[in-house]
Each structure stands twice: as structure tokens, then as C-alpha cells.
Amino acid sequence: MNPIIETQGLGKFFEDKKRGQIRAVDHLNLQVRRGEIFGLLGTNGAGKTTTLRILATILKPTTGSAQVAGHDVVSQPEQVRAAIGYLTGDTNLYTRLTPREVLVYYARLHCMPPSAIGAVIEQLSLRFGLGEFIDTKIGKLSTGQRQRTSICRAIIQSPEVMIFDEPTAGLDPISAKHIIDFIRECRSSGKTVLFSTHYLREAEKLCDRIAIVHDGTLRATGTLEELLAISGTTDLEDAFFHFIGAGEVASASIREGGV
């Protein structure tokens, strides 16, 4: 089966006056299959966000290539954007607008027929519980309410690929559950989900396959069972530290919670 997301030799390098060249992503090879939940697991600064931003066409790679839904992220960015829903922990919503106004705006950006917009927003509002605040200014909403609005914004055009960058970070349990349940629903409906996390339990419970990344490089890929077998460990935490190197355990920032 052809992967719906694929990177080959993907790299992103930045220049820093003090530290010289920083390789945020270095020769990364990934293949994400259609209809699976694929997790990028790594510490803060591992290269997860940079990778997802390249796949979402926000950043251009320094080396290598990446395709999403059969389209190249550099030469066909518009087609890639039409195929994905992209969500980060930073909502970046217009604070003077209401959730309804935000959703109408993005529906129009995706050229949705005006006659269909109202019904789609109503469905999303019911699914994610926006009803109590859908006509309240974004600036007055809680973090969880903004994140739920961001999810609806990301999926307004019903994309086939969902890209989530640490979607539950900093959320209360109820808001986090909305996102976790939605990720599972995506898989049930045949959509593909690629998401990053540093929550071990989140990766264990959600992912069909997990890629462990560290210092911009891919350290291991496989199902939970495969990662445990390869590392000779019995839980994901031990496997994670096995793959990133025992000498780096003290400096790693990895968490067990998240679901």
C-alpha cells in the first residue's frame, strides 16, 4: 500500500550566530499509511514540530523531500493544504471574532458552497460542544474552548489527513478527551492522523505505530509491541530511553500523562 505521507532524507537546518548550524530535522525518513494513527514521540526540541510544519507547508525543507496525499510539499503546497487539517497547541484565533464567525471565514477560504456552511457548522458545534460559546468572542474563551474551536477550524473542509502538533498539551481533562475521542473517530472513518506528543500514555493508547525522534533524527519506528521487542523492554518509557541513549535520560523531558 502506498503511504499517504512520506518523507525521504528530510532535513531542516537553521543558522544561529552563537551555535552555528542547528539541524532541527536531519535525514528523516517516514512513511505513514492510510487510515492509521501515527505518533511522533519525542522530548521538547526533538524536531517534531519542525517536521509537522514542513508537512503542513509552513516551512520549506533544507534537504530531502516530502509528499502528502500524493502531492509534494514544496512544488504543490496548495494541493497539500487542501488535503490536510493542521492543528497546533497555539490556537492563533482572531480574538475579536466568535467561533461561528471564524468557522464561516475558514469555510469560505476552502470555497465551501455558501448553502452548506450553516449545516456543517451546526454539525461541528454539536460534536464538539460549541453551543454554549459559539457566539462569544474568542478573547473571552478558555484555553479548552479555543482548542475545540481550532479543531473545528482545522476540519471544516473534511480533510483526509489530520496533522496535530501536541494537541492536548496544557488542556484540562475534558478538553483533552474531546481531542482524543476525535482522533479515534478519524481512524474509524478511514482518515489518517499524524500527531506529535511527549506524553507516553497518549502514544501507547492511541497510536497504531510510533516513531521515536531525538535531536532531529529518527531513532526507531514500529508498533508498540515491535518497539518493546526490539529494545528488549516491557514498557514504552524504558523503550524510549533505550532508543534515545541511556546517557541522555537525565536531560530528557518526557511525560507519562496526556490522556
Residue-range domains of the chain with CATH? 5-248 (3.40.50.300)
| Cα 216 from chain centroid (whole Å) | 16
- In tens, the pLDDT along 10-62 reads 999 999 888 889 999 999 999 999 999 999 999 988 999 999 999 999 999 99
Render 87-128 in DSSP notation, one character per residue: EESS----TTS-HHHHHHHHHHHTT--HHHHHHHHHHHHHHH
How many CA atoms lie less than 13 Å away from 177 in the CB half-sphere? 4
Residue 256 is predicted with a pLDDT of 55
Residue 1 is predicted with a pLDDT of 65
Gap between the Cα atoms of 117 and 150, Å rounded: 17
Name the residue with cell 456552511.
117
Highest averaged pLDDT of the listed ranges 43-47, 113-117, 145-149, 250-254 = 113-117
Gap between the Cα atoms of 96 and 131, Å rounded: 18
Contact 10, 183 (CB under 8 A): no
Gap between the Cα atoms of 165 and 55, Å rounded: 11
Residues 6+ apart with CB under 8 A from 5: 30, 31, 32, 38, 55, 66, 67, 68, 69, 161, 192, 194
Q: Given a cut of 70, is residue 191 above it in pLDDT?
A: yes
Predicted confidence band of residue 144 (pLDDT cuts 50, 70, 90): confident
| Cα 119 from chain centroid (whole Å) | 27
Residue 247 is predicted with a pLDDT of 46
Give CA angle at 201 (200, 203), nearest 5°: 65
